Copies of this chain bind each other. A is one copy, B any other.
Amino acid sequence: MSSPGKAIILLSGGLDSTTVLAMALAQGYECLTLAVSYGQRHSVELQAAAALSQRMGAREHRQMHVDLAGIGGSALTDPQIDVPEAGGPGIPVTYVPARNTLMLSLALGWAEVAGARDIFIGVNAVDYSGYPDCRPEFIAAFAQLAALATRAGVEGGSLNIQTPLMQLSKAQIIRQGMSLGVDYSQTVSCYQADALGRACGRCDSCRLRSEGFAAAGVADPTRYA
């Protein structure tokens, strides 16, 4: 079977995107991983992304920066806003305005230059935090935009936005990753992990993750502080 070619994988170093990388590698894609620093409170997840990319066999890893902290408005980039310990109704304060739009745009630019026809992103519409830019209709709109925004879109060719986790529960994602040999102890999901990458165990992201391991019937390998 011939290789499906190059793909850009948005890799945050968390559970979801690491599973996506494992899935793309298993399908034979030549994976170019992209971690985006956007003024996160901590950088352990960026270090985890670089380490996981190399260990799992991606061809290249890049880290790019966008200045979302300058915009503010999110508990994840603004130290003035506390990270809540339980999810409530509506869009939570951990929502980072335009984050997925920006990360997909950077992936789009790299895809165009590298000649990749696929972009993988680990968004999920089942066990997610209620962010508007994780919904299938958002991804469909971005795919439409990508087809118009690029050289490839004008000169022919196509660019696919792949979201293999979209309809999976957290437990299904974890089972998928385990079957592909993902070492989840090396992934960082916590919104406020400490400098060693240890999770708080209390934020919304920790809660979703730990419930996922329980539902999958797998011992939780997360390193807690």
Contact, CB under 8 Å: A155 / B91: yes
Minimum distance in angstroms from A64 CB to a CB of chain B: 4
Say yes or no: is A65 at the interface (Cβ < 8 Å to chain B): yes
> Are B149's CB and A138's CB within 8 A?
yes
| B-side contacts of A99, CB under 8 Å | 109
Q: In the complex, which residues of chain B have a beta carbon less than 8 angstroms from the beta carbon of A154?
A: 91, 132
For A, the interface residue count at a CB cutoff of 8 angstroms equals 43
Q: Which one of A66-74, A174-182, A184-192 is at the interface?
A: A66-74
A106-158 contacts to B (CB < 8 Å): 106, 108-110, 112-113, 132-133, 135, 137-138, 141-142, 144-145, 148-151, 153-155
A225 contacts the other chain (CB 8 A):
no
For the A-B complex with A65-B66, A73-B109 known, give 4 more contacts whose Cβ atoms are closer than 8 Å: A71-B110, A97-B110, A98-B150, A101-B145
Assembly CA distance A4 to B144 (angstroms): 30
